[in-house]
Amino acid sequence: MAVSGGFEGSQEGSRLAPLVSSYLRSLRAADYSPRSIAAADTDLAQFARFCEEREVAGVDELALSHVRAFVAGLSEGTVGPACRPYARASIARKLSTLRRFLGFCVSEGIVGVSAAQGVRAPKARRRLPQVLSPQQVFELLESIQGDDPLTLRDRALFELIYSCGLRAQEVLDLRVHDIDPDRREARVTGKGRKQRIIPIGDDALRAVRSYLERGRPKSAAVAPGSSAVGGSSAAPVREALFLSARGRPLRPSDVRRRLEKYLPASDAPAGTSPHTLRHSFATHLLEGGADLRAIQELLGHASLATTQVYTHVSPAHLRRAYRLAHPRA
């Protein structure tokens, strides 16, 4: 079997292909995002090529040694078309995909035990996130000035990311009806399609209102199919909160590119990204005295351990907590 990219769309046969197709259908049924499904498809196709090279015909012939060799090959750069070592985070993701797929095979009664059981991914180095100071955030957001639709959109976009601590994909997935100006809330769909309600600050709410009143209608007027009544193809465009100049939904690369446009006019360092605003949101809340579990809920983290990285970013918060809590501080 020669798989290019993934199993989806491939016309060539494989003993693994029907199982992978069934597994991907189960992900769709569980409402996984298209990006997650595409990543799983690509990862499993890569593993299938690895198995084919070693004449492992089916999942019932897999052994623990095969999975360990696959992980080692990713780390050493001997697996995959790039012929270079994969980053630890990428290896961890691919192994996680393989574990879930083999777990699916066990649950379906195809094999008795997962061949990935006991295989560990290499530990990723935890890098502290880049964080802006409140003054740097203020200068960056205030540098976005203008009444044209794109500038109004950009101001609303980045105010909302910082005010609510959103991931780039989360802010792009927002629909107009996800913003409730009266309740001053945003309904956000995060990883795993989990929804959470996040308060919107005054500055962000003003920026969003200005965009909805004076910016978005002009972009929506030139959207594909905007003149048609009804029509499913135009529906996602009409619903998306943030639109391009041509009335289309934005991509994460668009968000990064637009933010880079405003960096020279502020004191924000090179490399500042939309995710930097999310990190800054969490750190500033922590420094302001917010409870770590509340920050976890706002960020949409499944585990508190993920949120605890911000206690390392904010030594000022730790010093203040020490002074307030220690009897001999």
pLDDT of residue 122: 74
Q: Are 187 and 252 in contact (CB under 8 A)?
A: no
Residues 39-72: tens digit of each pLDDT: 999 999 999 889 888 888 888 899 999 999 999 8
Closest CA to 86 of 113, 119, 114, 46: 46
Q: Is residue 28 part of a domain?
A: yes
User: 154 with 295, same domain?
Assistant: yes
User: 86 with 204, same domain?
Assistant: no
Q: Is residue 123 part of a domain?
A: no
User: 98 with 160, same domain?
Assistant: no
Q: Are 251 and 261 in contact (CB under 8 A)?
A: no
User: 161 with 21, same domain?
Assistant: no
Q: Total structural domains in the chain?
A: 2
CA torsion angle 184 189 194 199 (round to 10)? -20
Q: Is residue 9 part of a domain?
A: no
Which residues are designated catalytic?
167, 191, 275, 278, 301, 310
Q: Is residue 289 part of a domain?
A: yes
User: 178 with 290, same domain?
Assistant: yes
CATH code where residue 69 lies: 1.10.150
pLDDT of residue 145: 96
Q: Is residue 270 part of a domain?
A: yes
Q: Is residue 147 part of a domain?
A: yes
pLDDT of residue 226: 57
pLDDT of residue 232: 40
pLDDT of residue 236: 53
Instruction: Please say which residue of 90, 107, 124 terminates a domain.
Output: 107
User: 255 with 148, same domain?
Assistant: yes
Closest CA to 16 of 60, 77, 71: 60
CATH code where residue 318 lies: 1.10.443.10
DSSP bridge partners of 195: 189
pLDDT of residue 8: 53
CA distance 152 to 263: 17
Look up the domain containing 194 and give its range: 134-325
User: 152 with 288, same domain?
Assistant: yes
User: 22 with 77, same domain?
Assistant: yes
Q: Is residue 119 part of a domain?
A: no
Q: Is residue 116 part of a domain?
A: no
pLDDT of residue 329: 62
Residue 129, judged by CB atoms within 10 A of its CB (0-12, 13-18, 19+), counts as middle
User: 23 with 87, same domain?
Assistant: yes
pLDDT of residue 308: 85
pLDDT of residue 327: 80
pLDDT of residue 233: 41
Query: With a cut of 50, which residues of the chain have pLDDT below it?
Result: 1-4, 9-13, 227-235
User: 34 with 172, same domain?
Assistant: no
pTM exceeding 0.85 = no
User: 187 with 270, same domain?
Assistant: yes
CA distance 185 to 187: 7
Q: Give, in degrees to the nearest 5, the angle at Cα 278 between 166 and 120.
A: 90
pLDDT of residue 238: 62
- Tokens matching residue 268: 């924000």
CA distance 15 to 53: 14
User: 153 with 301, same domain?
Assistant: yes
